[in-house]
């Protein structure tokens, strides 16, 4: 199957993807950095999660590492795109190829599989022998900013870059599902590293906040290092007893009766 790939087209696809990934990162991260960090505090309608500021030079390093990650993420994706052209992947275009209900199911399967892979490889990278080699670069961001979304050492980038393309070779999914997941992945990475919680308290206190990962949840990983390893869902953290959040934030405490009444009115 690999022999059917045109080398020139692969190189063109690789460089095109690198540019797309880099521009997407710069635009989305830059937008949220300006909205949350670049304006006066009284204009920001969000909860700052750490009171400290990034150390001098950290933001530049976050951007440099993230742009390097763009090259690494583009490589396996380019191979999959070229394989897709030859019919060598499980990504399909015909919406009628599978029942319509399978589209959301396949997206959830991809997200859960990716979340599981991320959780366990993330915990692996926190082992004493691997952390300095693979993961310390990412933890230079304390507090993280939106620029830290893809600030990884190349070894970590490689580990993160291969899973989704490999899954696309095996598990059928419509092209729209892939595009949705890639968009969600980018926004989740940027927002969860934003250093601010933009979601309302009712969301965080309710089922969504107790199930899905937000900036408040992931920020605690950058603060404590030994908790909150997952990417999308709190499932694995709760199952493996590495989950903390509600006890760490005063603003997530149950509202007083008067506040609760005002929320219901």
- For the chain, give every domain's residue range: 2-264
202-216 CB burial, b ≥16 within 10 A, e <16: eebbeeebeebbbbb
What stretches of the chain adopt beta strand conformation (E)? Answer: 47-48, 91-92, 173-174, 196-197
- The residues, any chain, with a CB within 8 Å of residue 150's CB and separated by 6 or more, are 25, 65, 66, 69, 70, 73, 157, 189
Return the pLDDT at 262: 53
* Residues 150, 74: Cα–Cα separation, whole Å: 13
The two tokens of residue 63 are 């951007």
pLDDT tens, position by position, 162-178: 999 999 999 999 999 99
Residues facing 91 on adjacent strands: 173
pLDDT tens, position by position, 32-53: 999 999 998 889 999 999 988 8
What's the angle, vertex CA 225, arms to CA 217 and CA 118, rounded to 5?
A: 70
48 three-state secondary structure: strand
- DSSP tag of 264: H
Q: How many residues does the chain have?
A: 265
Whole-structure pTM over 0.75, yes or no?
yes
Return the pLDDT at 252: 87
**Residues of the chain with confidence (pLDDT) below 50:** 258, 261, 264-265
Return the pLDDT at 226: 94
196 three-state secondary structure: strand
For residues 218 and 146, is the Cβ–Cβ distance under 8 A?
Answer: no
Exposed/middle/buried for 29, CB within 10 Å: 0-12, 13-18, 19+?
buried
Return the pLDDT at 3: 55
For residue 259, the surrounding DSSP H or E stretch is helix 257-264
């Amino acid at each position: 199957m690999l022999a059917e790939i045109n080398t020139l087209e692969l190189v063109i696809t690789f460089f095109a993807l690198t540019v797309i990934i880099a521009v997407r990162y710069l635009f989305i991260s830059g937008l949220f950095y300006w909205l949350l960090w670049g304006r006066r505090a009284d204009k920001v309608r969000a909860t700052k999660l750490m009171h400290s500021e990034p150390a001098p030079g950290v933001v530049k390093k976050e951007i440099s590492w993230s742009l390097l990650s763009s090259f690494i993420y583009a490589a396996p994706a380019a191979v999959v795109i070229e394989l897709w052209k030859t019919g060598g992947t499980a990504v399909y275009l015909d919406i009628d190829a599978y029942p319509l209900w399978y589209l959301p199911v396949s997206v959830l399967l991809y997200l859960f599989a990716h979340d599981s892979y991320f959780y366990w490889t993330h915990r692996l990278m926190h082992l004493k022998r691997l952390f300095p080699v693979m993961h310390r670069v990412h933890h230079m961001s304390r507090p993280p900013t939106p620029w830290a979304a893809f600030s990884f050492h190349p070894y970590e980038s490689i580990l993160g870059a291969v899973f989704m393309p490999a899954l696309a070779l095996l598990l059928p999914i419509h092209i729209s599902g892939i595009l949705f997941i890639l968009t969600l992945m980018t926004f989740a990475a940027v927002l969860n590293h934003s250093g601010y919680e933009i979601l309302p308290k009712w969301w965080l206190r309710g089922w969504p906040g107790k199930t899905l990962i937000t900036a408040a949840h992931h920020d605690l990983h950058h603060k404590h290092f030994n908790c909150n390893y997952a990417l999308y869902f709190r499932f694995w953290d709760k199952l493996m007893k590495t989950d903390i959040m509600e006890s760490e934030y005063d603003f997530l405490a149950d509202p007083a009766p008067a506040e609760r009444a005002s929320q219901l009115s």
